[in-house]
Amino acid sequence: MLHLRLITPSDRTDDVIHVIEKTVGTTHLVVVPGAARNPAGDVVMCDVAREAGDELLSELQQLGLDKTGSIAVENIDLSLSRRADKAEAEAPGEGADAVLWEHLTDATHEESTLSVTYLAFITLATMIAACGVVLDNAVLIVGAMAVGPEFGPLAGVCTSIVQRAPRLALRSLIALLVGFAVAMAATVGFSLFMDAIDLFSKGQLEADRPQTGFVYAPDAFSFIVAVLAGAAGTLSLTSAKSGALVGVAISVTTVPAAANAAVALSFGDMAQTRGSTEQLLLNLMGIILAGTLTLLAQKWFWSKQRQRAAAG
C-alpha cells in the first residue's frame, strides 16, 4: 500500500476527494479542512493499493495539484486493516508488478545526476577493476561491478525514451559519458603511477588471464548477458526490488571493460584497448535496449489492465 498526503486549495478539495473515491483500490480517506499553511489549503490523506497508485497520481496531476498544492507519497511497510486488504483485492493486477512512473522518473533523475559522489564512485570502481584485471583477480572484478553506479544513468536513458523526456535523456547521457571519461582518464594516471612503483607491468596485462580475459574479448554472449541484465535491472527498479539490482550490477562488464581499456592504453596495448571499448559499448547498448523494451512492455501491460478495470 501507498500513503498519499495532499495539500489542496480549498476550492479544489471536492474535486480531489471525488477522484480518490472513484479510484478503485483507495481507502482510509481523511480530510482536514484548513490545516495547511504553506501553501494554504486543506490536507487530504488516503491509502491506495500500489497497483492503483499510478492512475491516481496521474489524475491528481491533471487537476494541477502538483502546481497549486502538494502531492507526497510514502510506502506503507505494514497496514493492519480489513479495508486495506479489500482495497488491494479490488485493485487490478499485483502490487509487485505495478509501475509508478513519476517515482521512476524522479528516482532515475536523482541517480543520473552528474555529481562529485557519482564521479567518485565510478572512478574508484574503475580503479578497483584495474587492479583486478592486472592481477587476474575475479573477486576484485566482482567488487568493482558492485561499486559502479552506472546503472542509474542507463535506467535514466531508458526512462527518458519511454516517457519522452529529453531533459532526463540529456542529463543521463552526460552523466554516463562524462563519468566513464573521467574514470578512465583517472585510471590511466593510476596505472602509470602503479607501473612507476613496480606494482603494475605490461607483462601482467598481456599474460594469459583466465579469470579476467573476457573483459576485452566481446562476443555474442556479452550482448545476451547485457540484455538479460538490462531487463532484470529495470524490473528491480520498477518493482522496488532493490536487492535484485546488486545481482544486475555484478553481471555486466561495463566498469571492468572501461578499466581494462584504460590500463591497456597506459601501456600502449591498442588491441586490448579496442577490444575493451567494444565490450563496454556492447554492454551499454544491450542494457539500454533491454531496459527500454521492458518499460514499453510494462506500459502496454498496465494500459490493458486499466482498460479491463474501466470496462469492469
Same domain, residue pair 269 and 227: yes
pTM across the whole model: 0.80
Same domain, residue pair 13 and 113: no
Tell me which H or E stretch contains 45: strand 40-48
All cell numbers assigned to 149: 553506479
Name the residue among 122, 105, 124, 125 with its Cα closest to residue 114. 122
User: Residue type for 81, please?
Assistant: S
**Final residue before a domain boundary, out of 82, 98, 114:** 98
- Per-residue pLDDT of 108-128, as tens digits, reads 777 788 899 999 999 999 999
Same domain, residue pair 28 and 158: no
- For residue 106, pLDDT over 90 is answered with no
**Final residue before a domain boundary, out of 79, 98, 117:** 98
Question: How many structural domains does the chain have?
Answer: 2
**Final residue before a domain boundary, out of 56, 80, 98:** 98
- Per-residue pLDDT of 205-214, as tens digits, reads 999 999 888 8
| β-strand partners of 46 | 4
Same domain, residue pair 154 and 285: yes
Same domain, residue pair 202 and 264: yes
pLDDT band at 92 (very low <50, low <70, confident <90, very high): confident
Identify which of 14-28, 85-99, 293-307 has the greatest average pLDDT.
14-28
Neighbours of 265 (CB within 10 A): 19
Same domain, residue pair 87 and 146: no
Query: Which domain range does residue 178 map to?
Result: 103-301
Same domain, residue pair 67 and 157: no
CA distance 19 to 63: 9
- Per-residue pLDDT of 29-67, as tens digits, reads 999 999 999 899 999 999 998 888 888 888 899 999 989
Whether the link from the prior residue into 166 is cis, omega within 30° of 0, is no
Q: Confirm if 133 and 209 have CB atoms less than 8 A apart.
A: yes
Cα torsion 180, 181, 183, 187: sign:
positive
Same domain, residue pair 109 and 92: no
